Structure 1
Amino acid sequence: MLKKIHLRAVALAVTGALLTPAAFAADKAPIRVGFLTIKSGALAAGGKQMEEAINLFMKERNNTIAGRKVELFVADTSGQPAVTKTKTQELVEKDKVQVIIGPLAAFEAIAVDDYIKKVGVPVISPSAGAEDLTQRKPNPWFVRGVGSSAQPSHALGEYAAKDLKYKRIAIIADDFAFGHEIAAGFQRTFEENGGKVVQKLWTPLNVADYGTYIGQIKPNVDAVFAAFAGGNGVKFVKQYSEYGLKGKIPLLGAMTTVDEGILPFMGDDALGVISTGWYSANLNNAANAKFVKDFNATYKKDPGYYSMGAYGAALMLEQALKDVKGNIEDKNAFMAALRAVQLPNDPRGKVTLDALGNPIMDIYIRKVEKKDGKLSNVVIKTYPAVSQFWTYKAKDFLANPVYSRDYPPANNLEN
């Protein structure tokens, strides 16, 4: 009799072990993750870096998160809003993905916003900074793995006026939503701190040559603020030097203008450029040291905006999946976990999300220097725990129009 009781207890123990969350998750089908990137056109350089980062992330984890295998479905949007919408529909309706990381560009994220709301598929943005997606028109199925477009440039606008003592600045930027919003955030804080934006130049995203625009830059400005995405920063910085402005008019940049992913192609023309962002490959913390080491070992280059954005989005996905014990099938519980994600040891530093799904994180002022024989964005100042609303009250910020080509109004432009 005692022997039978003992055997029954062993059987129950084995059964219990088989029903642990890890075992339960392992028995389920692989989690299906969609990944929207760009493989051609002006933004292809960023798309490549995003894909490199997500592949590194999955390789490090043997394609397994929270005890479940993960299948990655990669789609090329070509940087076209209509194609982005088609590819998103294919991922959801054909490939049956349960979560999407992407797309890259702000105008792409805006293009698929209504569809995402309609089908209710969780989306983690690894790059697109479109302001209103986490401001006046929040999407309950959308969270951002990176800052909003203007989040870093708020800091640089203040820094340019208060620390660098600049009074007159010309802005040149890509003529699309990301460029508009970056420039607007910079203009707002720069002018609120006593400076004047006296010129704005908008360049087509696929412009072949910046010479015409560089030739228009006013010679009596204290500095130029340049906001470019993808590989456009390389062309602009090199031509800025070729036209003789380097050394004459200091150059300030958005995070993507002198991104680590493209710095090696700029040569010494980029030296001295001061920029702003939520990441630098030179950040001194253990998580970043490992990330940079692994990225260097795999791709022979430093990670930057697009690679850190995709890797950070994957870290958010991982944490949310762990919090629901791998049960992504409970879509509402998973989305709630995603919105509550906290990453105390992200390579960027501590990252949390606000109530609208946008990260609160440190913003860094960086200067391009040569370090260990290569160009690097060296941090020269840190603004801690910056929100998308800068120092403004959220209610007051949201009462204004969304940042755009025309808002805030440029009241100090000179002919």
Structure 2
Amino acid sequence: MPIPAIAQNAPLKIGVLTVKTGFLAAGGIHCEEGITTFLRDRNYTLAGRKIEMVVADSGGNPAGAKTKAVELVEREKVSMIMGPFAAFEHLAIVDYLAQHKIPTFGYAGAEDVTQRKANPYVVRTSNSAAQCMYPAADYAFKEMGKKRAVALADDFAFGYEQVGGFQRLFEDLGGRVVKKLWSPGNTPDYTPFISQVQDCDVLALGLTGANPIRFVKQFRELGFSQPIVGGSTIADDTIMKGFGDEAVGMISSIPYSLDIDTPENKAFLASIRKYYGNDVAVGLYSAAFYVNGMILEAALQKSGGKLDNPDQFIKDVKAVKLEKTPRGPISFDEYGNITFTNYVRKAEKVGGKIVNKIVKTYPNTSQFWTYDPKKFLANPVYSRDYPPLKT
């Protein structure tokens, strides 16, 4: 039966499930700023269809994410969802969203969302937890010449999976992770953990939120000199103003950098600053959600602005290939995870400020790195104990 014209012409409701309270709030708010900037640039109209955005605050915890997901689906009747922010949130709602056939642009890094437990209604448009740690490991071993690493990360799924990816590649290249340390998500004093960073020539860091700022300051104040490398959260451009000279030389690996010198990135930065002011903090969070809008627009252009068939919509999303975005080229693999250019940066002091400068790019970075996907998926998901430490 054809859909009534009134339904086709009604605004398309999209849900944005993000964090606006708690220790992850800053990143979640930046995500909202990114998609809002894109929609404002398009006058809230994509492929001829008016867009209505409904934002829900998950609170940064699994129970809150589940409650808000149910509200978006059953009360707000959204046609698709962007989010949630954190891995432990997405794991709590992924089955519910799949059961209701809600197309989801996942942000959280939980590996299995697009790996062993991939479902047909989820694509990840940010990066998997380990995806940025492969270039970090490659750079640490090949460019920095490091051989022995201690890893320290937040004591939850995202931290485990970051460290797992780093360890796997670093050791496959010939290095060794000699110790793995796990700190609570909002640790005020890292001294007990820092004291265990011994017998290594590099520290692989997997902290999130404001934790890297506290950690790096304490690490250097206690006299530790090992270079620091890490993934997408240790030195996002949004938190760089919190660092001092202690961060100089820190290496971060990430799918977006403020200093990407392209017309697309310059246009994005001009737009977000127009709407939120020149002092707005801009980094991966807002850039990823801005590109979410580009992906949504490309998929809706194929369907004539309709999203009444979730299966066809997700098929259209997975077929999206964009050469020109603020992040650089993006596409999707057969499991629904984004493939992108990854940027390795070094923190430098410029004009009295600590900023990131790109030192190497890794085009076409996959969630499987260069491993065979079928062999990769035959192994367990990265965890606290996998891969195990070599003794």
> Does 2:285 align with 1:291?
no
The superposition leaves residues 216-262 of structure 1 with CA deviations (integer Å, 9 ceiling, x where unpaired) of 221x32111111112222221222233232xx211112221111111
Q: Report deviation, 1:305.
A: 2.1
SS at match of 1:346: coil
> Does 2:24 align with 1:43?
yes
Q: Indicate the residue corresponding to 2:258 in structure 1.
A: 281
Task: Pick one of 201, 208, 231 that aligns with 1:254.
Answer: 231
Give, as a single letter, the amino acid of the residue that structure 1 aligns with 2:236.
D
Q: Contact (CA 8 Å) 2:109, 2:129: kept in 1 or not?
A: yes
Q: Indicate the residue corresponding to 1:65 in structure 2.
A: 46
Q: Contact (CA 8 Å) 1:36, 1:103: kept in 2 or not?
A: yes
Q: Contact (CA 8 Å) 2:321, 2:331: kept in 1 or not?
A: yes
Q: Indicate the residue corresponding to 1:154 in structure 2.
A: 134
Task: Pick one of 80, 93, 96 that aligns with 1:99.
Answer: 80
Over the residues paired in the alignment, what is the CA RMSD in angstroms?
A: 1.7
Q: Indicate the residue corresponding to 2:15 in structure 1.
A: 34
SS at match of 1:380: strand
Over the matched positions of the two proteins, sequence identity in percent amounts to: 45
> Does 2:334 align with 1:350?
no
Change (3 A) 1:145 1:372: farther
Unmatched tracts of structure 2, length 5 or more:
none
Q: Indicate the residue corresponding to 1:131 in structure 2.
A: 111
Distance 1:338 1:27 in 2: 19
The superposition leaves residues 147-196 of structure 1 with CA deviations (integer Å, 9 ceiling, x where unpaired) of 21111111111221122111111111001111111111011111111111
Q: Indicate the residue corresponding to 1:227 in structure 2.
A: 206
Deviates most, 291-300 or 278-287: 291-300
Q: Report deviation, 1:142.
A: 0.2
Deviates most, 293-302 or 207-216: 293-302
Q: Contact (CA 8 Å) 1:295, 1:302: kept in 2 or not?
A: no
Q: Contact (CA 8 Å) 1:26, 1:68: kept in 2 or not?
A: no
Deviates most, 138-147 or 45-54: 45-54
Q: Report deviation, 1:46.
A: 0.8
TM-score by length of 1: 0.89
TM-score by length of 2: 0.94
Q: Indicate the residue corresponding to 2:316 in structure 1.
A: 337
Q: Contact (CA 8 Å) 2:259, 2:358: kept in 1 or not?
A: yes
Give, as a single letter, the amino acid of the residue that structure 1 aligns with 2:311.
N
Distance 2:238 2:88 in 1: 22
Change (3 A) 1:274 1:410: same
Report which of the two structures shows the higher radius of gyration computed on alpha carbons: 1
Q: Report deviation, 1:91.
A: 0.2
Distance 1:55 1:267 in 2: 31
Distance 1:321 1:290 in 2: 22
The superposition leaves residues 378-398 of structure 1 with CA deviations (integer Å, 9 ceiling, x where unpaired) of 111112212111111111111
Distance 2:80 2:226 in 1: 46
Q: Report deviation, 1:290.
A: 1.2
Q: Contact (CA 8 Å) 2:120, 2:311: kept in 1 or not?
A: no
> Does 2:240 align with 1:263?
yes
Q: Contact (CA 8 Å) 1:25, 1:68: kept in 2 or not?
A: no
How many residues end up aligned between the 2 structures?
385
Q: Indicate the residue corresponding to 2:157 in structure 1.
A: 177
Deviates most, 92-101 or 235-244: 235-244
Q: Report deviation, 1:348.
A: 1.3
Q: Contact (CA 8 Å) 1:25, 1:325: kept in 2 or not?
A: no
Q: Indicate the residue corresponding to 1:366 in structure 2.
A: 345
Give, as a single letter, the amino acid of the residue that structure 2 aligns with 1:212.
P
Q: Indicate the residue corresponding to 1:318 in structure 2.
A: 297
SS at match of 2:27: helix
Q: Report deviation, 1:25.
A: 9.4
Task: Pick one of 199, 217, 222 that aligns with 1:243.
Answer: 222
Distance 1:193 1:167 in 2: 9
The superposition leaves residues 259-314 of structure 1 with CA deviations (integer Å, 9 ceiling, x where unpaired) of 11111111322221011111111112111111123234434245212112222222
Q: Contact (CA 8 Å) 2:16, 2:55: kept in 1 or not?
A: yes
Q: Indicate the residue corresponding to 1:10 in structure 2.
A: none
Distance 2:268 2:354 in 1: 18
Give, as a single letter, the amino acid of the residue that structure 2 aligns with 1:112.
I
Q: Indicate the residue corresponding to 2:182 in structure 1.
A: 202
Q: Contact (CA 8 Å) 1:368, 1:378: kept in 2 or not?
A: yes
Distance 1:268 1:363 in 2: 25
Q: Report deviation, 1:26.
A: 11
Deviates most, 228-237 or 173-182: 228-237
SS at match of 1:136: coil
Distance 2:217 2:253 in 1: 20
